[in-house]
Amino acid sequence: MKKVNTVLILSSVLVVTACSNSDANAGNRKPSPERILQFLDKDNDGRISRAEAASARKKKLAENFDFIDKNQDDFIDLAELNAMRRP
């Protein structure tokens, strides 16, 4: 029974993920830079601070903050998010 529940939960997560990526990013499971920014930019200043990066569920952004923050202004903007993405 536990296995069935796990499958159902995973299926739900996949459906939610698929729906939330239905914009220009269709077919790619990773969220678009625009979506990452929209989701993490809590104060709506158009960039992600260290605190906002640290609040993310996934720690990739916070752990790689200095690498992603190319101009070292202590914020990650959309251009830096785009540069972070690999094709």
CB-based contact 46:78 (threshold 8 Å): yes
CB-based contact 32:24 (threshold 8 Å): yes
Residue 26 or residue 67: which is nearer to Ca ion going by CB? 67
Residue 5 or residue 67: which is nearer to Ca ion going by CB? 67
Smallest separation, CB 74 to Ca ion (Å): 7
CA distances from 16 to 11, 20, 37, 64, 69 (A): 9, 6, 19, 27, 30
Smallest separation, CB 13 to Ca ion (Å): 31
Residue 16 or residue 79: which is nearer to Ca ion going by CB? 79
Residues that bind Ca ion (CB under 5 A): 69, 71, 73, 75
